[in-house]
Amino acid sequence: MLKQKKTISYTIYVLFITIPLLFFSCYPGGIEYYNESDIILTMYDDQFDFADNSNYFMPDTIIHAIEEGEEDNISRAYDGPILDQIADQMSAAGYTRLESNIITDSVLVDSADVVLSVVITSSEYTGIGYIPGGGGYWGWYPGWGWGGGYYPGYPWCPGYGWGYPYTYSYSTGSLFIEMIDQNSINYQGDNNELPITWQATINGMLSGNQNNMQWRIDNGIEQCFKQSPYLSN
Amino acid sequence: MKRIKTIIALSVLLISINTYGQEFYTNMTYNISVPMGETADFISNTSFRGATFNMGRFLTDKIAVDMRFSWNTFYQAMDFDTYTSDNGLISVSGTQFRYINAFPITLGARYVLNASSNFSPYFAAGLGTYKINERLDMGIYSNEIRKWHFGMYPELGFFYRLSYDVGINMYARYDHAFKTSSTKAYSYIAFGLGFHFTKL
């Protein structure tokens, strides 16, 4: 009888310890691959007649938006492929690009119905995370190769008696494509707001692998047009 | 917080009632939970992460009262998809990761048949507060709603005695957290299997 009581007590202790441990070590994960951090957002002006405005101008350079006094650490390697991919998608949607080696850009802008502006920016995030359990599913996040990090959704349960803290840092990139109604631009007066008829934003974590980045950017631009069927002429 | 204090006060009151039998019991069970209703609209995956802890006592040979803590975690990684605003002007595409953590704290009563035999089926019901944390991650962005709900549960199950003070507890329980002014209702069926300890 005494032995049985001891067994029961032991079982209770084991349960008290193992149930929380099981919870922490099996807590479901989230992003596993860089491309799962990508989001593509589009919005448009439903009063604008896209079908009647099919000539567009797009500069042959991308604006890298950086803080004043900061260095531009965004690679220019993607600029050409990004502009090519946007041009391909615009062409497939029925738009004609105005470009010339002779005519100046300002004249081309005046002749266009819409102007596309392409801007890239990046941000750095750092913080302190906490890995409960210190093993199993969570254990391999810090070895991921992007500064040992995860994203701000975590940590979700600091303050427990096990696990270990870690620091993380990662960079995100955003690509903005803006379609401006050239005929509605107010070049005079105090109103400097640009009449944006369509805006697309691609946002995601930056990875070091150039092929992977290029693939994600191409997919992102394609998705911008796919989820904007009103653009098609 | 106020609800927790009320529940603790009521449970102390219940435990202090000196009545027939005085058999105390503790149940520790593992839960598998199937989301229902609006919960299933948000996360349809069955949860394999859950546990319930009960402490109670028999008031008569058939009726017992107890207090319960549960923790049920629901998770679903959605496929890459596009979500459009109601007015159709804004669309956002990405992979969503959805989480619900439900923490019911309830007081209940159970009616037990054949309490003195090895196999004792029972029906239980109770009410209390349900802390529900719902989180939606998309891209690098995360949105979490944490809310206390009022909720209730009915439960059908049985105790199977292995020895005079240890048994197995198996049940199906429907947990329902009513909607609040700002959040929806949550509901799921939890299937439980675990230990039932008794002490005279």
Q: Tell me, what CATH number does A213's domain have?
A: 3.30.160.670
What's the average model confidence in pLDDT over B125-140?
A: 93
How many alpha carbons fall within 13 Å on the CB side of residue A78? 28
Q: Does the residue A29 lie in any domain?
A: no
Structure-model confidence comparison of residues B72 and B9, the more confident one: B72
Q: pLDDT value at position A22?
A: 59
Backbone angles phi, psi at B93, to 5 degrees: -115, 145
Backbone angles phi, psi at A140, to 5 degrees: -95, -5
Q: Does the residue B18 lie in any domain?
A: no
CATH code: domain of residue B45: 2.40.160.20
Instruction: Sort out which chain A residues have CB atoms less than 8 A from B99's CB and list them.
Output: 28
Contact A184, A51 (CB under 8 A): no
Q: What confidence tier does B59 reach under pLDDT thresholds 50, 70, 90? A: very high
Q: Does the residue A86 lie in any domain?
A: yes
Angle in degrees, 0-180, between the axes of helices A79-92 and A210-226, rounded to the nearest 10 = 30
| Three-class SS state of A118 | strand
Q: For chain B, how many structural domains are there in total?
A: 1
Q: pLDDT value at position B7?
A: 56
User: Could you give the CA distance from residue B7 to residue B14 in angstroms, rounded to a whole number?
Assistant: 10
Q: Does the residue A12 lie in any domain?
A: no
Burial class for B40, CB neighbours closer than 10 Å (0-12, 13-18, 19+): middle
Q: In Å, how far is B151's CA from the nearest CA of chain A?
A: 24
Please identify among residues 8-37 of chain A the ones whose CB lies closer than 8 Å to any CB of chain B: 8, 11-12, 15, 19, 22-23, 26-28, 30-31, 36-37
| Three-class SS state of B154 | strand
Show the tokens assigned to A9: 């007590």
Q: Does the residue A136 lie in any domain?
A: yes
Show the tokens assigned to B73: 């975690």
pLDDT in tens, chain A (233 residues): 555 556 656 666 566 556 655 555 556 777 878 888 889 999 999 999 999 999 999 998 898 888 777 777 778 888 999 999 999 999 999 999 998 888 888 888 888 999 999 998 887 776 665 544 433 333 233 323 233 333 333 333 333 334 455 566 777 888 999 999 988 877 776 666 778 899 999 988 887 678 888 899 999 999 999 999 999 87
Range of the domain at A221: 35-231
| Three-class SS state of A116 | strand
Show the tokens assigned to B13: 């009151």
At B67-107, the pLDDT tens digits run: 999 999 999 999 999 999 888 889 999 999 999 999 999 99
Q: Does the residue B16 lie in any domain?
A: no
Contact A63, A118 (CB under 8 A): yes
Q: Does the residue A14 lie in any domain?
A: no
Range of the domain at B128: 2-11+24-199
* CA-closest candidate to residue B171, choices B59, B100, B70: B70
Q: Does the residue B17 lie in any domain?
A: no
At B39-57, the pLDDT tens digits run: 999 999 999 999 999 999 9
* Residue in chain A nearest B76 by alpha carbon: A28
At B144-181, the pLDDT tens digits run: 899 999 999 999 999 999 988 899 999 999 999 999 99
- Strand residues in A88-132 grouped as ranges (E): 96-97, 114-131
This prediction's pTM: 0.77
User: Could you give the CA distance from residue B137 to residue A149 in angstroms, rounded to a whole number?
Assistant: 16
Instruction: Answer whether A229 touches B (CB < 8 Å).
Output: no
At A67-85, the pLDDT tens digits run: 777 777 778 888 999 999 9
Q: For chain A, how many structural domains are there in total?
A: 1
User: Could you give the CA distance from residue B65 to residue B11 in angstroms, rounded to a whole number?
Assistant: 9
